[in-house]
């Protein structure tokens, strides 16, 4: 299915047409609060209303404003990757935050500082070797063991049960709280949903065996975290998680805003809707059948490949390879060229790094501008650790 076809159910761009449009500089990040609330509600419905089962990764949400929407909806536990995301999540009302990234050196020291500043919040980290356990000794942080399901990015291979056991024992011996197992199976996104879930379920069976082995040796596993956005249907359909002897949480974050990739990966009947778009203007007609917009890869991330986006309401437009500030598009034969100055709305192929490209977001509701909010956890903190 083409990237354009994925957004045809949402091709009406009226929700993003604002009376204030002439005064908005482009490219601009527009977030529809109503659609965000819809996507949050959709996720909670899939979880049977149990907000406690969702630990969204806030690398997507990025805004403290949106994190507060999650908190107001009953979601109190998050995942993050940076110390800045951790700080903003804590300020937004989170009660439990996992830094799901290997922390070493000054990065670990900074997370220790944040944990000291927010003593009432359960802050946890990942470990995959004994030296990482040692660096947290004497702190208030708790620990998840990172299990590698085959993505080969971080963690101990799921086939190395003995190593996972030894590390879990080391956590307890160090005086730290062992929180459970983290299992991110994002590599399965390359498969169609049937094969994706078949492979995911085989992995989950191995994961359950690991939990059982730990339990037989007296190590309680309080929580197991699986599933970013691609594996969400797989975790939801795995029977073993339904009556598991632990809290099972899923961790998709992209679904808060959704993008063309999410629409391709998730069943249409779930009903997710694109909630974040890039507003851009046509700035040139450089050649016959071509237009250029002011939304290059410094606006719409190109990390997922070309096309970087789809254009709401314009299936005849084919986004081509961007440069830093320019996004050329090919116009299908016989289709009218959008006029220079015309406003277009782009649904990113990968919304997470696209949101990270902006300092501010225009928040809209009911077709009206209601706020301009900082993208408060974009980028990183200042790089010199202070005491």
**Strand pairing class (28-32; 360-365):** parallel
Please tell me the distance from the alpha carbon of residue 268 to that of residue 266, in angstroms, as a whole number. 6
Spell out a b/e string for 117-148, using b for 16 or more CB atoms within 10 Å of the CB, else e. ebeebbbbbbbbeeebbebbeebebbbbbbbb
The secondary element (H helix, E strand) that includes residue 363 is strand 360-365
SS3 238: coil
Which pTM does this prediction carry?
0.96
Going along the chain from its start, the domains and CATH numbers come out as 3-30+269-374 (2.40.37.20), 55-251 (3.20.20.10)
pLDDT at 7: 62
Find all residues with CB under 8 Å of 280, minimum gap 6, and list them: 26, 27, 293, 294, 295, 299, 327, 343, 344, 345, 346
DSSP 179: E
Residue whose C-alpha is closest to residue 118's, from 83, 160, 154, 148: 83
- What does the pLDDT profile of the chain (387 residues) look like in tens digits? 555 566 655 666 777 888 889 999 999 999 999 999 999 999 999 999 999 999 999 999 999 999 999 999 999 999 999 999 999 999 999 999 999 999 999 999 999 999 999 999 999 999 999 999 999 999 999 999 999 999 999 999 999 999 999 999 999 999 999 999 999 999 999 999 999 999 999 999 999 999 999 999 999 999 999 999 999 999 999 999 999 999 999 999 999 999 999 999 999 999 999 999 999 999 999 999 999 999 999 999 999 999 999 999 999 999 999 999 999 999 999 999 999 999 999 999 999 999 999 999 999 999 999 999 999 999 999 999 997
Distances (CA, A) of 266 to 185, 189, 311, 318: 15, 10, 20, 23
Q: 76-83 — which CB contacts under 8 Å span 24+ positions?
A: 76/51, 76/52, 77/52, 77/249, 79/55, 79/225, 79/251, 79/253, 80/377, 81/57, 82/377, 82/380, 82/381, 83/107, 83/110, 83/111, 83/114, 83/380, 83/381
pLDDT at 6: 60
Q: Across-strand partners of 183?
A: 147, 226
DSSP sequence for 122-177: EEEEEESSHHHHHTTTTSS-EEEEEEE-S--SSSEETT-HHHHHHHHHHHHHTTPP
Distances (CA, A) of 39 to 35, 120, 276, 376: 6, 29, 11, 21
pLDDT at 58: 98
Please tell me the distance from the alpha carbon of residue 62 to that of residue 355, in angstroms, as a whole number. 7
Q: Angle at Cα 228 formed by Cα 227 and Cα 234, nearest 5°?
A: 40
pLDDT at 13: 73
DSSP 120: T
Q: 123 — alpha (psi -120 to 50), left (phi > 0) or beta?
A: beta
Please tell me the distance from the alpha carbon of residue 8 to that of residue 21, in angstroms, as a whole number. 23
pLDDT at 333: 95
Average pLDDT score, the chain: 95
């Amino acid at each position: 299915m083409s990237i354009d076809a994925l957004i045809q159910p949402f091709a009406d761009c009226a929700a993003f047409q604002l009376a204030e449009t002439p005064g908005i500089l482009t490219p601009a990040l527009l977030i529809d609060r109503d659609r965000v609330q819809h996507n949050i509600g959709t996720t909670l419905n899939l979880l049977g209303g149990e907000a406690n089962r969702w630990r969204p990764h806030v690398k997507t949400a990025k805004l403290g404003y949106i994190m507060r929407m999650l908190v107001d909806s009953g979601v109190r536990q998050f995942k993050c990757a940076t110390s800045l995301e951790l700080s903003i999540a804590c300020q937004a009302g989170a009660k439990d935050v996992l830094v799901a990234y290997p922390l070493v050196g000054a990065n670990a020291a900074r997370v220790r500082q944040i944990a000291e500043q927010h003593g009432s919040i359960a802050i946890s980290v990942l470990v995959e070797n004994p030296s990482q356990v040692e660096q947290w000794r004497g702190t208030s942080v708790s620990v998840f063991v990172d299990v590698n399901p085959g993505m080969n990015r971080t963690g101990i291979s799921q086939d190395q049960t003995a190593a996972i056991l030894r590390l879990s024992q080391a956590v307890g011996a160090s005086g730290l709280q062992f929180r459970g197992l983290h299992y991110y199976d994002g590599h399965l996104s390359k498969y169609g949903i049937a094969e994706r879930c078949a492979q995911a379920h085989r992995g989950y069976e191995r994961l359950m065996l690991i939990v059982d082995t730990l339990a037989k040796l007296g190590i309680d596993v309080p929580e197991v975290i699986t599933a970013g956005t691609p594996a969400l249907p797989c975790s939801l359909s795995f029977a073993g998680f339904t009556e598991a002897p632990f809290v099972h949480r899923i961790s998709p974050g992209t679904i808060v805003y959704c993008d063309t990739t999410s629409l391709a990966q998730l069943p249409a009947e779930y009903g997710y809707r694109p909630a974040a778009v890039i507003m851009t203007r046509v700035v040139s007609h450089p050649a016959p059948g071509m237009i250029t917009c002011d939304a290059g890869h410094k606006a719409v991330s190109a990390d997922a490949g070309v096309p970087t986006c789809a254009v709401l309401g314009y299936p005849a437009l084919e986004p081509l390879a961007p440069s830093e500030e320019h996004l050329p598009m090919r116009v299908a034969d016989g289709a009218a060229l959008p006029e220079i100055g015309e406003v277009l709305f782009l649904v990113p192929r990968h919304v997470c790094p696209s949101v990270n490209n902006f300092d501010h977001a225009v928040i809209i509701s009911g077709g009206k501008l209601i706020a301009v909010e900082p993208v408060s956890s974009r980028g990183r903190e200042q790089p010199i650790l202070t005491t």
